[in-house]
Amino acid sequence: MRTQNAMISIVIPLYNEEKYIGKCIESLLTQSFIDFEIVCVDDGSTDRSAAIVEEIAKRDKRVRLINQKNQNAGIARNNGLKIATGKYIAFLDADDYVTEGYLEKMYSRIATCDADICVCNCVELDDESGEINKYSYGSLDASEVPDKQVFSVDDIPDTIFQISMGWAWDKIYRKAFVEENEILFQDTKVANDQLFVDIAFATAQKITVLDERLIVHRKNVKSSLEYTKDQWWKCIFEMLYAEERELTNRGLFEITKKSFYNRACMYISANAYAIKSAEYFTEFFNYYRSSGMSHFEFSKISSDYFYNQNEYSCMKMMEESTEKEFLLFLKNDFKARHDMTCYELRKYDEAIKMYEGRVEKYEKIINELENKLKIAGKDKNWYFTEERYPAGKRYVLYGYGKVGKDFARQLLNSKHSKLVAVIDQDSCSVDRSLLEGVSVGGMEILSDVAYDYVIISPRKVEVAEQIKADLLDFGVPEEKIICPILDDLFF
């Protein structure tokens, strides 16, 4: 039974979500915490979404439905915010759902800490395969959070926007804080919650986190705008321009500038990889070169300013090359190899990080990837992403098997890097015909050559871990050891 003023209001915008809205609402109604209301805002649906909500509302007065003509999710959230009665407010997507204890845990945390915002973590559900990935890309990054119960932008000005992605649904807010600071959602077709979230982060005096996976977020939902957002690429720029203006008007841009520029670099480069339509890609590229580039000019900023060198390299290449050259760069980059999307590669990459130390899981994923490469019928070379590291660095390669030989050929032909030595347990049998000018021997040669990094090439996790331990015992600093199989997948 809904009270006059609920403790928590959950606003859910919906547009043609008949397949998912029931599950979303039921996951809230079965919570142990009962002092809440659900405000569903139908954005002009043409299916049974509104009817389903009305049916649920008849048996539970905590559920309300309001209707609007189609104006997009941002306006729907703003309209829900206007009528919400709760002391705290949360926003969920209609195709997501929450886990047991979500409301009780989020309420307890934000109330106990007297915070303006509480951020939780999530799991990712692939709607096509039904698989759950507990490492959801862009979810809460606890490593960026200060070691204190509450914090603000003053504690982490350079990384405030790297705490999590600009999603509204993995956070709960003190409603008075939102209203007093006049924080609203944008009316863009996609990316309409980024502005709200980042302005809230930059403005809040007390932010707290709850590193528990309390929300199940669906990916690859074919009916979602996220799934078909090629044509809405310009919304990313509209969002970034609006956020910069808003931060400036509030006197917050200078303190958050580095974090904002890293966020902008991530969003624009991610779009470059994600757009599949040739027509929309050309529009995107031409717009950036004629307008966006003069605004951001990433290539004129030192690479050290950016946290992700892949993203920076992408933007630098986009600013300095023709469209054809840029497409070739994307094609050859490891994220786009063998016609696999950036998301697919990232999914495997993150799965490997999550299951670190579980050898069987690693090998299963690697075998699946190798089978995909065989089916693709293309060259099946292993690729080391040297672009992640500064130009001119000197590498020692540990291991001269299949992966090691591919890495060696790449580095020997590279204008970016230099191979100075190869270490192999059976160094006497190493074919040195391709290694002219490269020292070959056991680990002791590390004492005789000048190097910046040692690359561990073996693919078996237990072998790579033992080699890393041996290198550390030999005195090689950990920051000089690169182990692709433990860190990332390179092709």
Q: How far apart are CA 119 and CA 164, in angstroms?
A: 8
Q: Which residues of the chain have pLDDT under 50?
A: 1-3, 334-359, 361-362, 372-373, 375-378, 380, 489-491
- Per the CB < 8 A criterion, the answer to whether 65 and 149 are in contact is no
Q: How far apart are CA 185 and CA 74, in angstroms?
A: 5
Bridge partners, residue 379, by sequence = none
Say how many CA atoms lie within 13 Å of 119 toward its Cβ: 29
The pLDDT of residue 410 is 85
The pLDDT of residue 33 is 97
Q: How far apart are CA 284 and CA 269, in angstroms?
A: 11
Cα torsion 22, 28, 30, 34 to 10°: value is -140
Q: How far apart are CA 150 and CA 361, in angstroms?
A: 37
Strands 8-14 and 88-91: parallel
Strands 417-423 and 439-441: parallel
Q: Which two tokens stand for residue 376?
A: 């693709």
Q: How far apart are CA 168 and CA 427, in angstroms?
A: 56
Helix (H, G, I), strand (E, B) or coil at 63: strand
Strands 97-98 and 207-219: antiparallel
- Per the CB < 8 A criterion, the answer to whether 41 and 77 are in contact is yes
Q: How far apart are CA 318 and CA 327, in angstroms?
A: 9
Q: What is the DSSP letter of 151?
A: B
Q: How far apart are CA 335 and CA 258, in angstroms?
A: 25
- Per the CB < 8 A criterion, the answer to whether 387 and 410 are in contact is no
